[in-house]
Every structure is written in structure tokens, then in C-alpha cells.
């Protein structure tokens, strides 16, 4: 049996970064649902949070999981669930793109705290500012 521990910090936004998830109560319902759905699919979410226009997920990948497939499953099922349950008035969609970086075990706690504090964090910074910082910090080139 293989033993694997690969932590990934994933971030994705709502379609066109529209603030669909505009209340704390709604966000908590969505994050809880994503976590429960992930568990049913054998996806381990260490922590999940976000703000009105995006989601942060700290995931530990399993031996047969890819980042692309995990994010596809989480985003696809959660948008279906949000729409099926009429949680918002408009049609809900996640943006196609996402951001994902691997983490060293030594910083998992700091990233978990960062994700936990999204509500406070976004009282001071927009998602665009956060996004730009990630793109620069990790050397992603936007084509």
C-alpha cells in the first residue's frame, strides 16, 4: 500500500467573479456541502473557505487523484447542488480557470490559517489583489 501526502492549495472563482455567495450563511452552507461531497468521493479537504466571489481549498491528494479531476468534481457537483436547491436567484457557475500550488508540510498550518481568515482578509483586500499577488509570488504567466 502506498503512503502519499501531497498538500495542494486550490483557489477558484465564481463565473466572471460575480459575488454570488453574498452572505456568510450561504458561504458556510456551500463550503460544508463541498466538504461533505468530497468525503463521499474520497477527496480529503483539510480546510475550505472563501468569500463572495471565490473559494480556497486545502486538499490532500490521494494516490489516484489528479488536481484537475478533483477540482472538476468539486466545482461541477457544487454548482449543480447550488442551482438544484435554488440557493441563489441567478444561475450559479464557477469560472473554468483555477489556481493550485503544492505545499511543503512546514507551511500547511499557515495556509490553513490563511484560508480560515478569508472573511477578515477580504475586508482589507479584493480578490483581484489577492489573485495578482498569487500570480506574481508563484511566477504564473498570464497569456
Task: List, in order of start, the domains of the chain with CATH numbers.
Answer: 6-134 (3.30.70.1290)
121 has pLDDT over 80: yes
103 has pLDDT over 70: yes
- Which of the four pLDDT bands, split at 50, 70 and 90, describes residue 108? very high
Q: Which three cell numbers stand for residue 30?
A: 456551500
pLDDT at 1: 78
Work out the percent of the chain whose per-residue pLDDT is above 90.
82
Q: How many CA atoms lie within 13 A of 11 on its CB side?
A: 22
Lowest mean pLDDT among 65-69, 89-93, 100-104, 131-135: 131-135
41 has pLDDT over 90: yes
Phi and psi for 94 in degrees, rounded to 5? Answer: -95, 150
The rounded mean pLDDT for the chain is 94
CB 21 within 8 A of CB 34: no
pLDDT at 143: 63
Amino acid at each position: 500500500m502506498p503512503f502519499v501526502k501531497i498538500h495542494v492549495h486550490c483557489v477558484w472563482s465564481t463565473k466572471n467573479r460575480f459575488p454570488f455567495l453574498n452572505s456568510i450563511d450561504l458561504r458556510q452552507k456551500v463550503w460544508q456541502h463541498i466538504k461533505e461531497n468530497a468525503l463521499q468521493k474520497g477527496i480529503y479537504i483539510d480546510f475550505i473557505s472563501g468569500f463572495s466571489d471565490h473559494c480556497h481549498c486545502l486538499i490532500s491528494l490521494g494516490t489516484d487523484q489528479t488536481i484537475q479531476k478533483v477540482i472538476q468534481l468539486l466545482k461541477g457537483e457544487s454548482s449543480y447542488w447550488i442551482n438544484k436547491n435554488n440557493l441563489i436567484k441567478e444561475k450559479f457557475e464557477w469560472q473554468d480557470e483555477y489556481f493550485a500550488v503544492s505545499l511543503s508540510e512546514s507551511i500547511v498550518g499557515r495556509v490553513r490559517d490563511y484560508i480560515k481568515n478569508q472573511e477578515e482578509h477580504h475586508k482589507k483586500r479584493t480578490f483581484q489583489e489577492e489573485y495578482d499577488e498569487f500570480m506574481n509570488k508563484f511566477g504564473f504567466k498570464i497569456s
